[in-house]
Structure 1
C-alpha cells in the first residue's frame, strides 16, 4: 500500500497561491450562504463583492464551475454547488498547508475548526492583491509534501474496504517508517483513538476529507495537467 518514491514537481508558488485563494473564495461563498446571523441584503452584498473581485483578481486561477458558485445569488445555490463549497474548504487547507500558510506540521485528523479558521484568516479577499502573498509563503520541501500526501492516501485507503490482513501489513509498514501514529494495530486519530473504534459517520467524514486533501496534494505535487484533471490515485 505504501508508495515507493514518487517524482514530485510542484507547481510554481504563484500558481499555488492563486489556486489556494480561489478555493478559499469558493469556501467563503458557502459560509456566506449559511450565515443565518446576517440579513439577506448583507449576505448578497458580500457575495457580490466577492464575485466581482474574483472575476478580476482570480481570473487566471479560478475555474468556470467555481466562478458560477460565486456568481449565484444568495438562496439559489444547488446542492451540488453547496457540496463544491465544502470540498473547496478542505482542498484549500491542503494547498495552504503546502505553502506554510498555516503553521501545523501535519493536517489534523479528525478535522479541526482551528485549522480551517487559520486557512480562511490567511486568505485575502476583496480587494486585496494575490501576488503580494508571494513574499509571505514558502513551499514545503518535497519530502514534507510526499509524506503528507502519503498520510492522506493512507487515511483515504483506511476508510475503504480493508481486510484485517492488509491492515496488519500496512500498519507494520507505517510503524517501521514512523510515518504516522498508530494504536492497537490501527491508524490513530487525534487523541490516540483507533480509526476502527469510531462511529460510521466519523469514519465517513475522515475518509471524505482525506479524499479532498489527497486530490489537492496530488495537484500540488504536479500530478495532472490542471486542477480539474488532478488524479485521486497515482499509478
Structure 2
C-alpha cells in the first residue's frame, strides 16, 4: 500500500470547499438520475422535459456551484440533456459513494456504512436539503478522523486490487503467498479497528471472506472502495484537483 504523501505537507480543503464539493456532486447525481430516466424510457434529447436544462443551469449559477465543478464535470454537465452515454451514467452513479463519504466528513452521517453496504442515493441527496444554507449546517470532522477513514478506504481498495492481481494469475513476491499477505493485512487492519473481524483470515464482506465473492459482488466491492478511497484522499489533501486525485495503493 502506498504512503507516498506521508512525508509531504498535506493541505486539507477547508469546510466551505468541502461543502461546495458536496453540492457539486449532488447536482451531478441529480443530472445522472435524469439521464438514466431518459435512457430507460428511450426518450430522445429533443423530447426531454421542457425547461429541465434551464432549471439545472439556474441551480448551478444560483448556488455558487458552477465555479466549483471540476473540468470533467463541466464537460458532462455541458452536454445536452439526454445525451449522456450509458457509461457516463454508470460511472457517475458510483459517485454516490464519494458524496456519501464527504457528507460523513461534514458530520451529516454519524457513521460510514460498512464496505459491503453502499450509500442510498435518495438518502444522501436528502441530506443536502436547501443548497443555500447547506454549508452553514455542516462541520468538518477532524484531520485525525478523516485520516483514519482514509486508511480504511485504502485498505479495502488494496484488497480489491489484490483480487484483480490474483484473478490475472500474477505471481506473488518471492517467498510469499497471496493468502499469507492477505491474512497478515487482515489481522493488522482488525487490530487497528479499520475492518471488522476477519473471516477465514480474510476481509469480511457480506458474511463471507472476500476471496469467496461472486463476480457481481466483487465488482460492487471494488467500486465502493475505489470511490470512498478517492473521496478521502481528496479530503485528506492528497490532491487539490478533484479530477486528478490518485487512488494508488
TM-score, normalising length: structure 1: 0.83
User: Residue deviations 1:140-173, cap 9 Å, x none?
Assistant: 2222211211111111111122611211110121
User: Residue deviations 1:7-48, cap 9 Å, x none?
Assistant: 664211000010111011111111111225798767453343
Taking a change above 3 Å as real, the CA distance of residues 143 and 108 of structure 1, as seen in their structure-2 partners, is same
Aligned length: 227
Higher relative contact order (CA 8 A, sep 6+): 2
Q: Is the 8 A contact 1:10 1:221 kept in 2?
A: yes
Q: Please give the secondary structure, in 1, of the residue aligned with 2:244.
A: coil
CA distance in 1, matches of 2:242, 2:204: 30
CA distance in 2, matches of 1:100, 1:66: 25
Taking a change above 3 Å as real, the CA distance of residues 222 and 113 of structure 1, as seen in their structure-2 partners, is closer
User: Residue deviations 1:91-135, cap 9 Å, x none?
Assistant: 2122112111223x1233223353x3321111257xx42xx2232
Gaps (5+ residues) in structure 2? Answer: 167-177
Residue in 1 that maps onto 2:123: 118
Residue in 2 that maps onto 1:188: 204
Residue in 2 that maps onto 1:11: 13
Tell me by how many angstroms 1:217 deviates. Answer: 0.8
Instruction: Tell me the C-alpha RMSD between the 2 structures.
Output: 2.8
Q: Is 2:28 the partner of 1:26?
A: yes
Q: Which has the larger radius of gyration?
A: 2
User: Residue deviations 1:62-116, cap 9 Å, x none?
Assistant: 123313323323331124432442243222122112111223x1233223353x3
Q: Is the 8 A contact 1:189 1:195 kept in 2?
A: yes
